[in-house]
Every structure is written in C-alpha cells, then in structure tokens.
C-alpha cells in the first residue's frame, strides 16, 4: 500500500511553531494549491494543512513565510475528533517528510533544503 503526496503551493500565512510536552518541535502551516482549470470555470484553490516535525519544523518556522512557494512531500493523515456538541468529525492533514523551498528568500538569502522523518502519536500534537 502507498500513501504519498506531493504538493506545490504558497503558504497562506507564516508557520506556527509549537512543541509537544516531550519538547519535539511541530510546525503547522497551510498551502494554497491550485486545481487544474476546467473549461469555462474559474480557477479553484484548495487550502491544505501541513504538519512538519522536529528539525524540519524548526527550519520551516525559521525560513518560510506567507506567500513563499514550496513543494511538500509527505503522507495524508485523517484524524477523528468530537466537536463541542459531541458530533464526530474528521479532518485531513499532510504530514511533511520533505519541504523544498522553490524560490529565493526575499532578502536575498540562500534557499534551504532539508528533510527529516520523525515518528509521533496523535496525542503529541499541540494544535
């Protein structure tokens, strides 16, 4: 079986960096990804939540910002939770294994390309 996703899009806001109770860094950000244009229809955009862990999370938080173009490789994770009314809900998130910066920093700095793979449990997510 295979669960692999590759997305290219722009960040909708700066990454939000937090730490688990065990001190592991986790960054959350959202990518705006264009859909293929269908004849006679306006361009549509999907907004996809991304989680990056450990060293990759710190790199994303330090070097990415709103509007930056990136490629994200990872896997789709579906989580279930009960909302405030007790209704069971599902949410989808892409857990990043690799984030590639596809354009230079606005202030002329070098691009950073790094990746890492870290195991975690859903209880560790501080969002």
Q: Token pair for residue 9?
A: 């899009």
Q: Which domains does the chain have, with CATH numbers?
A: 5-104 (2.40.50.140)
Per residue in 106-125, pLDDT (tens digit) is: 655 544 544 434 444 445 55
Whether the full predicted model's pTM is greater than 0.85, yes or no, is no
Is the pLDDT at 84 greater than 50, yes or no? yes
Q: Rounded to an integer, what distance in angstroms lies between the CA atom of residue 81 and that of residue 93? A: 13
pLDDT, position 72: 97
Per residue in 22-80, pLDDT (tens digit) is: 999 999 999 999 988 777 788 899 999 999 999 999 999 999 999 999 999 999 999 99
Reported confidence tier of residue 126, pLDDT bands at 50, 70, 90: low
Q: Token pair for residue 39?
A: 């004849």
Higher pLDDT, 17 or 119: 17
Is the pLDDT at 92 greater than 60, yes or no? yes
Go through 5-44 and write b for each residue having 16 or more CB atoms within 10 A of its CB, e for each that does not.
Answer: eebebbbeeebebeebeeebbbbbbbbeeeeeeeeeeeee
Is the pLDDT at 85 greater than 90, yes or no? yes
Which value, to the nearest 10 degrees, does the dihedral of the CA atoms of residues 2, 80, 33, 24 take? -80
């Amino acid at each position: 079986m295979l669960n692999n996703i590759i997305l290219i899009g722009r960040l909708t806001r700066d990454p939000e960096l937090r730490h688990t109770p065990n001190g592991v860094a986790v960054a959350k950000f959202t990518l705006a990804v264009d859909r293929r244009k269908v004849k006679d229809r306006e361009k549509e955009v999907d907004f996809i939540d991304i989680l990056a862990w450990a060293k990759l999370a710190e790199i994303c938080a330090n070097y990415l910002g709103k509007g930056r173009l990136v490629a994200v490789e990872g896997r789709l994770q579906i989580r279930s939770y009960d909302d405030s009314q007790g209704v069971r809900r599902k949410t989808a998130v892409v857990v990043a294994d690799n984030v590639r910066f596809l354009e230079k920093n606005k202030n002329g700095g070098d691009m950073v390309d790094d990746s890492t793979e870290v195991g975690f449990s859903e209880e560790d997510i501080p969002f």
